[in-house]
Amino acid sequence: MTEQAYYDVLIIGSGAAGLSLALHLADKAKVAILSKAAFDSGSTQYAQGGISAVLGEDDTLDSHVEDTLIAGAGLCNSEVVKFTVEHGPERIAWLIEQGVPFTQVSDTHGQINYHLTREGGHSHRRVIHAEDATGRAIVTTLAAKVNQHPNISLLERHIVVDLITGKKQGLGHDRCLGAYILNRDTKKVNAVGARFVVLATGGAGKVYLYTSNPDVATGDGIAMAWRAGCRVANMEFIQFHPTCLYHPDAKSFLISEAVRGEGGKLLLPDGSPFMQRFDPRGELAPRDIVARAIDHEMKRLGSDCLFLDISHQPADFIINHFPNIYQRCLELGYDMTRQPIPIVPAAHYTCGGVMADCYGRTDLDGLYAIGEVSFTGLHGANRMASNSLLECLVFAHSASENILAQLKDVPKPPKLHAWDESRVTNSDEEVVVSHNWDELRRFMWDYVGIVRTTKRLQRAKHRIDLLHSEIQEYYSNFRVSNDLIELRNLALVAELIIRSALQRKESRGLHYTLDYAKTLPVAANTVLTPEI
């Protein structure tokens, strides 16, 4: 990459949103996809369950909309939900055209159909999947197409330090003009210009000690958009997946919600079921209810974990439906066809994010946000299972149409100021970064987790303020590194989560506080505006 590279569209992130957007654009635009690790290191790769869309004959768009609104606990934007659901079937058709190998089954008449499963919060079977590794199938298929396209450059092991804006460049009109990008191999920071910049960076699960997310999920897009002047909304709504495998070597391996959808039962250590005491839907209740129930029982009993049991189903059924989960559990000493497997909740999905409209447009001209990094109003106070990949696909398509419609009218950015590191030195205290990283994730888990109190949140706010000053001093004096960039972003996102949680004086959806256990009669979003 040259010192001053230019693209029509710079896409930051290489998951389902970024890859599909690139393919929609590339016939008419010069595109770069930025990945801070390998292109397949994002959260999409680990998505097991599937994509929700109305594909069954007995299902309806209205039903999918209604289920999403119910799960969102009064905070979904109904127009955005309708927009997303209506475009779902055509996005699935596009994936099939690309060659994604969705699981097929034959019915009693020998007719081959795509298999649809059901997950928590859904009233119908509407989750299309590729066995239990849907995300991997999508990334593998789309990445192969991306690698073959002459107009797409894939920049692996590159991480954005910050966005470049007209305001920061001393220009009159404020617009996103590109980004300062660290090449992790050469350790050099280069300015890259673009007519349009798209954040497809995913969520911020690594702000918590236990998470189902990969190591790259450090809230980078949310943090850099905030620093560039964009509003964020509903950051207090962090979804905790109820069932991650509990094992020191499992690295928070996710046990898909589809296991419960196919009859899996949650059990206490003594083998007794408990979900019916918390919700009449039992194991198929929305994730926030299931996660709180597990958290409650673990704390009540002092247990390190609870258990998920699907061994009552035939062994062939389990192995055929969940081959990857079955194999991974077996490697760690658990045969899910014969015994319950140990599980714990873990941070899974960031429902809030950078405010964006149905085309992915943010507060800053030229900057778009799609997928988990964004807040559109689709998820409300709680994301319904398998609506996340749907969101990536629908908004990647709508953003591409909006960008292509403007492409000829947006001039090439001016020459950008080079990255200045004349007043910094190499660090001799990298231990500060690792210690701050560890402290941040631990107090977020302890104080800003599944069940919150005002006192816990205030403790967390005090801790994050102290960390911020340390990190900013470190950032100002030493050359940037991948770990420092991620820590700086995580600390900012943690602050936004804490501030948002303190503002919400009720319990709603994923935000549950013992000090305000009731839900207010009027639902309102928590919107934070940066002071710039």
Please identify every residue annotated as catalytic.
Answer: 287
Q: How many angstroms separate the CA atoms of 297 and 439, rounded?
A: 26
Q: How many angstroms separate the CA atoms of 52 and 384, rounded?
A: 9
The 8-class DSSP code of residue 416 comes to P
The answer to whether 424 touches 478, Cβ cutoff 8 Å, is yes
3-state SS, one letter per residue, for 129-165: CCCCCHHHHHHHHHHHHHHHCCCEEEEECEEEEEEEE
Residue 527 burial (10 A CB sphere; 0-12, 13-18, 19+): middle
Residue 522 burial (10 A CB sphere; 0-12, 13-18, 19+): exposed
Q: How many angstroms separate the CA atoms of 390 and 127, rounded?
A: 10
Q: How many angstroms separate the CA atoms of 484 and 161, rounded?
A: 10
Q: Which two tokens stand for residue 194?
A: 């673009």
The 8-class DSSP code of residue 508 comes to B
Q: Which two tokens stand for residue 65?
A: 């909309």
Q: How many angstroms separate the CA atoms of 362 and 356, rounded?
A: 5
Residue 517 amino acid letter: A
Q: How many angstroms separate the CA atoms of 81 and 79, rounded?
A: 5
Strand-pair partners of 266: 308
The CB density around residue 378, as the number of other CB atoms within 10 Å, is: 25
Q: How many angstroms separate the CA atoms of 40 and 135, rounded?
A: 10
Length of the chain: 532
- For residue 387, the Cα-to-chain-centroid distance in whole angstroms is 11
Q: How many angstroms separate the CA atoms of 483 and 530, rounded?
A: 24
Q: Which two tokens stand for residue 373?
A: 């990094």
Place of tokens 């701050």: 436
- Nearest alpha carbon to residue 496 among 528, 465, 452, 472: 528
